Structure 1
Amino acid sequence: MAELTIGRPDLARRATAEAIAACALVFCVGGAAAAQASHHAILGLPAQAAVSGLAIMALVYATGHLSGAHINPAVTIAFTVTRHFPRREAVAYIGAQLLGAAAGGGVLLAAWPDAPGNLGANVAAVGTPTALLYEAVLTALLMFIIIAVATDTRAVGAGAAIAIGGTVTLDILVGGGVSGASMNPARSFGPALASGTWTHFWIYLVGPTIGATVGALAYQFIRAPQTPPGAAPA
């Protein structure tokens, strides 16, 4: 989920990296959910939060230098809105993320054809307005952290993956029992497609997209211009 840098691979390779990362994320999150539903292999919300946070942290470390590790259509849209990502490439990234998520969902369905539950698909435990608000706010917080560590050289870039993975874990602990804390349309799409669970799916498209855009714009607003070395602060 980092901003792209000079010398990056061509668009096809970067989009492929996004697809692989999205596939891996859906498999990890959905696989954990399926194992829990079938065999009680892991227990409770803290375990779900840890799986998602660790998966994101690992994938950011693995693909951040290649594609920027968006792994999330809402993040790509937010980077595009704030002019940190070219519009002409956003469609390719979003398509790759959704394709990768669908592939991850397909692997889950092949592995767990008779598993109870919904293979990790997000289903809100509260009313639609509350779930939508939670998705928007949680994603805004996540995107605020992402854009800080990805685009501001004053942030600790080496720890970006830890900061982002930690925020994902925190968000799920806060909102997992409320909205499911998807924060990612692709992460919701893969399991929904595999399990046929489309209950209020629009929440997981609209909420994260609005939230990510708000979070990115908020950081853009509060960040101060950097002072060149040796220059006096304004």
Structure 2
Amino acid sequence: MPAAFILWFLLRESQFLGETTPTENFPAYKVAILEFLLTFFLKIVIINVSTRSKEMGTMSGIALDGVTLLEAMFDRPMTKTSINPIRSIAPALFTVNFQYLRLYIAAPFFGALNAISSCKLVKEEQRC
């Protein structure tokens, strides 16, 4: 939120203040699908790394950072993904552009919800 405020304060005339909007000519439904799938995949990795004791070392950090890096490299050029819905809300508040905000809030929410639900279905010990 402070970064969005600083950008807004210094660059009020600028068109881009860190907004999360899809690339031109990229349909909104594809943004929602990609955000959903990438959040689902990231949460599955987080759940598996955090619930197993043998991965609690440095490899857990490598796994999480690797997934985040791959998601940013794969999805950023198309959807300008934020992976975190709060990262999409702050710039939208300052630019008053809420056109695509629902996609960047709802899709990650449902992706994470489905990851937790699928974890509870698959794991025997209910440690999700």
Q: Please state which band the TM-score falls in when normalised by the shorter chain.
A: 0.7 to 0.9
Task: Tell me what 1:124 maps to.
Answer: 22
- 1:115 CA displacement: 6.3
Do the aligned residues in 1 keep the contact of 2:36 with 2:107 (CA within 8 Å)?
A: yes
Task: Tell me what 1:85 maps to.
Answer: none
Do the aligned residues in 2 keep the contact of 1:132 with 1:179 (CA within 8 Å)?
A: no
- 1:193 CA displacement: 1.8
Map residues 1-234 of structure 1 onto 2, 5 A cutoff.
Answer: 102-110=1-9, 112-114=10-12, 116-125=14-23, 126-154=26-54, 156-159=55-58, 160-225=60-125
Counterparts in 2 of 1:134 and 1:224: CA distance versus 1, 3 Å: same
What TM-score does the superposition give when structure 2 sets the normalisation length?
0.80
Identify unmatched segments of 5+ residues in structure 1: 1-101, 227-234
Rounded Cα–Cα distance in structure 2 between residues aligned with 1:158 and 1:114: 44
Do the aligned residues in 1 keep the contact of 2:4 with 2:18 (CA within 8 Å)?
A: no
Higher relative contact order (CA 8 A, sep 6+): 2
Identify unmatched segments of 5+ residues in structure 2: none
| Deviation per residue, 1:185-229 (Å, 9 max, x gap) | 101111222333322210011000001111222233333449xxx
| Pairwise CA RMSD | 2.2
Do the aligned residues in 2 keep the contact of 1:134 with 1:175 (CA within 8 Å)?
A: yes
Rounded Cα–Cα distance in structure 2 between residues aligned with 1:144 and 1:117: 36
- Taking every aligned residue pair, what percent have the same amino acid on both sides? 23
Rounded Cα–Cα distance in structure 2 between residues aligned with 1:131 and 1:180: 9
What TM-score does the superposition give when structure 1 sets the normalisation length?
0.47
Counterparts in 2 of 1:151 and 1:104: CA distance versus 1, 3 Å: farther
Do the aligned residues in 2 keep the contact of 1:118 with 1:192 (CA within 8 Å)?
A: no
